[in-house]
Amino acid sequence: MNKKLFYFIPYTLWLVLFVGAPIILMLLQSFMSIDGQATLANYQIFFGSGTYLRMMFNSVWYAFLITVITLVISFPTALFLNTLRHKDLWLLLIILPTWINLLLKTYAFIGILGHNGSINSFLQFMGFAPQQLLFSNASFLLVAAYIEIPFMILPIFNALAEIDNSLINASYDLGASKWQTLRHVILPLSADGIRAGIQAVFIPSLSLFMITRLIGGNRVITLGTAIEEHFLVTQNWGMGSTIGVVLIIAMIITMFVTRERKKGGNKY
Amino acid sequence: MKKLIYAALAIILATSLLWVGSIHFERAQNAETGTNGNKVLNLYNWGDYIDPALITKFEKQTGIKVNYETFDSNEAMVTKIKQGGTSYDLTVPSDYMIQKMKKENLLLPIHKSKITTLKYIDKRFLNLAFDRHNKYSIPYFWGTLGIVYNDKYVKRHEISQWNDLWNSKYRDKIMLIDSARDILGLSLISQGNSLNDKSSADLQAAKGKLDALMPNVKAIVADEIKMYMVQEEAPIAVTYSGEAAEMIAQNKHLHYIVPTKGSNEWFDNLVIPKTAKHIAAAYQFINFINQPENAKQNAEYIGYATPNAKAKQLLPKSIRTDQQFYPSAKTLSKLQVYQDLGQKKTQEYNDLFLEFKMTNR
């Protein structure tokens, strides 16, 4: 028993120092006014201001859209990947972009979407007038979805790979159509992967901020933008922490809603 | 398992080789420039804000090794200086930030008797409101806030004042620099108010006027504004003279104007933070960089306006008389300098700016 405890020390230390302590510091900070007095004012400002509530709405709404877009693309992709012969190789190609720095990828998109970028050059070549692509909601969603998509495909792919093929064959043998098999066999069995994918995409999407400026041209304002400003420009760490706490609560809610439910319930 | 251990050993071997190599080259470099480990200067500056050739020259001349680190905003710089960590010997804040750092006791006074090159600085840049008698700071560069336009899409006489930005024909054509004070400031000036206005009513009015500008605003971006303008993503941008100089160097269709009815004039000055450990080296550097020859070389490299009168004389006539970067006396008389607003008002400016950003088109 003592030995077991001993092995736990590094992990516990890590948790306490790098997970527990920062969250507690942030919580304390969020109850501080700019003069260092304990106060609830930051929360009052947050929930009493149309600006912050709209930002909160933007954050959740865009995170939701990004999650839906990635999910809609990822599930069929993962299904398809599982039928291929060299699936590990194909999977590697999907994971490959995550090895490249996020900022570099974003800058690459500026080159693609820009006024004189690849897409517009192509449009002009085809005889169309160049379009304004950058600084639009659509381009923001495109880039954000592109960046998040490997994190959605990976867990779904793994969940699908674990499904016993004989179950699917049994479903066909019993007269189920392709659609019925998908709906009643594959989907429930891959639900854990989908949940993990949603968590891995929705939660980071809540606090995106660099892309909102570079691709969105600050036309899409989310809470990440406000946190950056409070910590760097106005030095109002209390308010910045309050927004951070609100985001953490939003993330906890997400985890709770998408948590793994006890098996055996009647889900259909 | 065995494979894993071999892989780990290989990584350790490779990194130690690289480490030995880097030490070797550092030594070789030190021998070449005559520097050694004890004589250093920790210079904390804006990115790309000095001619690197001058750093080498300084190292050769004095035997002091310069560690050059960069920041991208006044606020980020102060946060890092406050937290200690590295003890920077010299840094380059802007006017209002010098005032704030002074208030917070973050600066060491400068003994002017030791600054032998002070005589070269134009009197206009000395004894300014943010640092009377230059107790803490020595001018480095100065510049303005203005408008960059592309002559392919906008004619020369079409834009000369801030109010021209509101023209409905520029719908979705303007890029703004992502800075609360500058953007609210241009709105304040266009309504005849001061850049340092603290009246909430005036600020509300300025923000209201900005909301009307939103249909013309294509994007609100930071450093990327240079790249976007050079690539002709937008025909008009509101930005600083120094950024404009870099854009113009890369795209000849771009031009810069300072609104003649008023704008912001800013100063970046050299200061010695409280945490400095190599003060003698800091003085040497201040004197070195203000030698007319060096200041001239630096100004040519960076493209900002130099406060060094002697160095300005040495610059080619085409630069010296360029009204874009050395505006006429008449325009100069209309320019205003930022003052530290205090935390509360800074917050108000930023909150209003955030609200402005969220305005729907």
ipTM attached to this prediction: 0.86
At A119, which CATH number? Answer: 1.10.3720.10
CB contact under 8 A, B75 and A134: no
Spelled out in words, what is the top-level CATH class assigned to the domain B143-265+322-357?
alpha beta
Q: Measure CB to CB from residue B350 to each of A55, A217, A229 and give the nearest one.
A: A229
Residue of A nearest to B181 (CA): A233
> Which residues are bridge partners to A150 per DSSP?
none
CB contact under 8 A, B358 and A114: no
CB contact under 8 A, B233 and A134: yes
pLDDT, tens digit (0-9, with 9 covering 90-100), for B49-105: 999 999 999 999 998 999 999 998 888 899 889 887 778 999 999 999 999 999 999
Confidence (pLDDT) at A221: 86
Residue of B nearest to A216 (CA): B219
Which residues of chain B does A234 touch, with a Cβ-Cβ cutoff of 8 Å?
Answer: 343, 346-347, 350
Domain annotation covers residue A268: no
Residue of A nearest to B179 (CA): A233
Q: Measure CB to CB from residue A213 to each of B75, B222, B355 and give the nearest one.
A: B222
Confidence (pLDDT) at A1: 57
Phi and psi of B306, rounded to 5°?
Answer: -95, 140
Q: Measure CB to CB from residue B75 to each of A34, A135, A235 and give the nearest one.
A: A235
Confidence (pLDDT) at B75: 84
CB contact under 8 A, A135 and B219: yes
Q: Measure CB to CB from residue A213 to each of B178, B350, B358 and give the nearest one.
A: B178
pLDDT, tens digit (0-9, with 9 covering 90-100), for B273-288: 998 999 999 999 999 9
CB contact under 8 A, A233 and B350: yes
The parts of chain B modelled with pLDDT lower than 70 are: 32-37, 361
Measured in angstroms, the CA of B345 and the nearest CA of chain A are apart by 9
CB contact under 8 A, B73 and A34: no
Query: Which domain does A214 fall in, by range?
Result: 61-221
* CA-based max dimension of chain A: 75
Confidence (pLDDT) at B85: 76
> Which residues are bridge partners to B269 per DSSP?
B139
Going through chain B in order, the beta strands assigned E by DSSP cover 40-46, 65-71, 90-91, 137-150, 174-177, 217-221, 236-240, 254-257, 265-271
Per-residue pLDDT of chain A (268 residues; tens, 9 = 90+): 577 788 888 899 999 999 999 999 999 999 998 888 889 999 999 999 888 999 999 999 999 999 999 999 999 999 999 989 898 899 899 889 889 998 899 999 999 999 888 999 999 999 888 888 899 999 999 999 999 999 999 999 999 999 999 999 999 999 999 999 999 999 999 999 999 999 999 999 998 888 888 898 888 888 988 898 888 888 888 999 999 999 999 999 988 988 877 654 444 4
Q: How far apart are CA A57 and CA A245, in angstroms?
A: 16
Q: Measure CB to CB from residue A135 to each of B73, B218, B355 and give the nearest one.
A: B218
Confidence (pLDDT) at B263: 95
Q: How far apart are CA A42 and CA B347, in angstroms?
A: 13
> For chain B, which residues make up each domain, given as ranges?
2-142+268-320, 143-265+322-357
Domain annotation covers residue A258: no
- Chain A residues with CB-CB distance to B under 8 A? 34, 51, 54-55, 110, 114-116, 132, 134-135, 213-214, 217-219, 221, 225-226, 229, 232-236
Confidence (pLDDT) at A267: 46
CB contact under 8 A, B75 and A232: yes
Domain annotation covers residue A135: yes
Q: What is the dihedral of CA A199, A202, A206, A208, to 10 degrees?
A: 110
Confidence (pLDDT) at A268: 44
Amino acid type, B266: W
Q: Does the domain spanning B2-142+268-320 belong to CATH 3.40.190.10?
A: yes
Host H or E run for residue B228: helix B224-230
Confidence (pLDDT) at A244: 93
Residue from B213, B232, B357 to probe the interface with A (highest A Cβ count within 10 Å)? B357
Residue of B nearest to A220 (CA): B358
- Chain B residues with CB-CB distance to A under 8 A? 73, 75-76, 79, 172, 175, 178, 180, 218-222, 224, 227-228, 231-233, 343-344, 346-347, 350-351, 354-355, 357-358
Domain annotation covers residue A255: no
Residue of B nearest to A214 (CA): B221
Which residues of chain B does A214 touch, with a Cβ-Cβ cutoff of 8 Å?
Answer: 221, 224
- Give the CA count within 13 Å in the CB-facing half-sphere of B302: 25
Provide CB contacts within 8 A for B183, sequence distance 6+.
B176, B177, B210, B220, B238, B353, B356
Which residues of chain B does A133 touch, with a Cβ-Cβ cutoff of 8 Å?
Answer: none
CB contact under 8 A, B343 and A221: no
Domain annotation covers residue A232: no
Count structural domains, chain A: 1
Which residues of chain B does A108 touch, with a Cβ-Cβ cutoff of 8 Å?
Answer: none
List the alpha helices (DSSP H) in chain A. 2-14, 21-30, 41-47, 50-83, 87-95, 102-113, 118-125, 137-162, 165-173, 178-181, 187-189, 191-206, 210-214, 223-232, 237-257
